[in-house]
Amino acid sequence: MARFVFYLVHGTQFYWLRKPKIEWIQPGSMFRAQLLEELRGAGHDAEFRLIEWTGRNRQRHRLDAALQLAEEVGVRGEHEFQVLVGHSHGGNVCLLALKDDAVRQRIDGVVCLSTPFLLFWKAEWALKLLILSFASWLLATTALVNWSLGGHWAAIPVGMALILAVVIPLTYIFVVNPVRSFDLEANTLPLVSKPPLMIARCPGDEASGVLGFVQLMARLIFTVEARIGGFWRLLSERLILGAAIVSLAILTLVIGAIYLEGFPFVPILVWAGGLVLIGPILFGMPLRMLIYGLSFGWDLAALTVTYSMSAEATPFGSWRTLLVRPNSGEEVPKPAHSETYQHGEVISAVAEWAAELGR
């Protein structure tokens, strides 16, 4: 008879002050009751240990949870098998804990339920787009100042909004500087080969759909920025900024002269055309930070200036994947993202897979 110790790690929780009670990891839940019943029916026994972490959608909280999990994993007893079970970002917590060699040697298997596996890699070209964004901001700000001096006072609130939209992200990037403190190696999921990994998913997973849409939007923004800024590709950052400043001075003088001649519609057309050209670059960086912050966590938002990130259905390595049909016959369907830990077929597959580990 084998004895199993399951470490249960919940996923992201959205709350203000007090974290809600996560039902599926509690005693008497469908997941624990059915898993225990099926293992005992096969002649085994099981114990469940809960890993309570903040559940905040922040990468640093997931790293802290991985350290907590690593401390909780004990030495295996005789005929004992230890299995990590993580739902949603709890699966990322489990894999990050495996970066500790001692934990990897003590764990016999990992189960990830509806996990969006976070991957990061360097993107040197993204810093070029940051320089373009800053140069575009100089150009647009000068345009709005010139416009307001011509009596168009509506340019003032627009200018203030522009400053807030660009200066706040730039200040966060260069003052708080989360990029410098980001450790790519510490945040990279390990190549999974041992212990064995089982992935269970349900079609129509809402979280995967949202993250996929975010990646699509970010990639489109990147593409538009790169296309428009392509003619600056061969120039250095100093030349770009220098050319932008010189151009602003010349354009300001020229348009000021046009105002004195009494043709206000000409500068309006010039600035409107200019904003169409630089708009995607101007607002691309704040938009990317916004959509990444809402989906991946605000501590990862500023990383878009030097890193690319994605949420994938599988990590690197080898694994066993189970895709189950959604439960049918319910009046109100459960969210697909939460269905894996309350789906009888998934729980039976986990019990059968665990029994194979104990043979």
Q: How far is CA 147 from CA 12, 53, 262, in A?
A: 47, 52, 14
Least confident of 28-42, 153-167, 203-217: 153-167
pLDDT of residue 78: 78
Least confident of 120-124, 164-168, 315-319: 164-168
Least confident of 95-99, 224-228, 284-288, 291-295: 224-228
* Cα(79)–Cα(358) distance, integer angstroms: 8
Is residue 129 a contact partner of residue 285, using CB atoms and an 8 Å limit? yes
Edge-to-edge strands of the sheet including 3-9?
45-51, 3-9, 80-87, 109-113, 197-201, 320-323
* Cα(294)–Cα(121) distance, integer angstroms: 20
Domain 3-117+184-209+312-357, second-level architecture: 3-Layer(aba) Sandwich (3.40)
CA-wise closest residue to 354 among 41, 33, 35:
35
Give the pLDDT confidence of 175-212 residue by residue, as tens digits: 665 666 788 888 889 888 788 999 999 988 888 888 88
pTM above 0.75, yes or no: yes
Average pLDDT, the chain: 78
> Which strand (E) or helix (H) includes residue 80?
strand 80-87
Give the pLDDT confidence of 100-137 residue by residue, as tens digits: 999 999 999 999 999 999 998 887 666 666 666 666 66
pLDDT band at 255 (very low <50, low <70, confident <90, very high): low
Is residue 128 a contact partner of residue 240, using CB atoms and an 8 Å limit? no
Which residue ranges make up each domain of the chain? 3-117+184-209+312-357, 122-182+212-309
Is residue 324 a contact partner of residue 346, using CB atoms and an 8 Å limit? yes
* Cα(324)–Cα(343) distance, integer angstroms: 8
pLDDT of residue 263: 47
Top pLDDT among 264 and 126 is at: 126
* Cα(226)–Cα(219) distance, integer angstroms: 10
Q: How many helices (H) and strands (E) does the chain have?
A: 14, 8
Top pLDDT among 327 and 225 is at: 327
pLDDT of residue 215: 79
pLDDT of residue 184: 84
Q: Is residue 142 pLDDT above 50, yes or no?
A: yes
pLDDT of residue 135: 63
User: In this prediction, what percent of the chain has a pLDDT beyond 70?
Assistant: 65
Least confident of 3-17, 86-100, 133-147, 241-255: 241-255
**Dihedral of CA 59/63/64/69: which sign?**
positive
